[in-house]
Structure 1
Amino acid sequence: MSELSEIVDSLENRISKLLHRHEKLKQSNLKLEEELDRLKVEQGQFQSEIDELREKCSSLKLANSMLGSDQYKRETKLKINALVREIDLCITQLSE
Structure 2
Amino acid sequence: MNDSQIDSVDTLKDKVRKVVSMYQQQKEKNEKLNKENQELINKLKSAEQKLNELENQYKKLKLAKTMVASSQDARDAKLKVNRMVREIDKCIALLNR
Greater RCO structure (CA 8 Å; 6+ sep): 1
Partner of 2:12: 11
Partner of 1:91: none
Q: Point out the structure with max Rg over C-alpha.
A: 2
Give the alignment's TM-score, normalised by structure 1.
Answer: 0.66
Unaligned runs of 5+ in 1: 70-96
Unaligned runs of 5+ in 2: 71-97
Give the alignment's TM-score, normalised by structure 2.
Answer: 0.65
How many residues align? The count is 69
- RMSD, aligned CA: 1.3
Matched-pair identity in %: 26
Q: Deviations over 1:31-84 (max 9, x none)?
A: 111111211211111111000000011011111211227xxxxxxxxxxxxxxx
Q: Which runs of 4+ in 1 moved over 6 A?
A: none
Partner of 1:26: 27
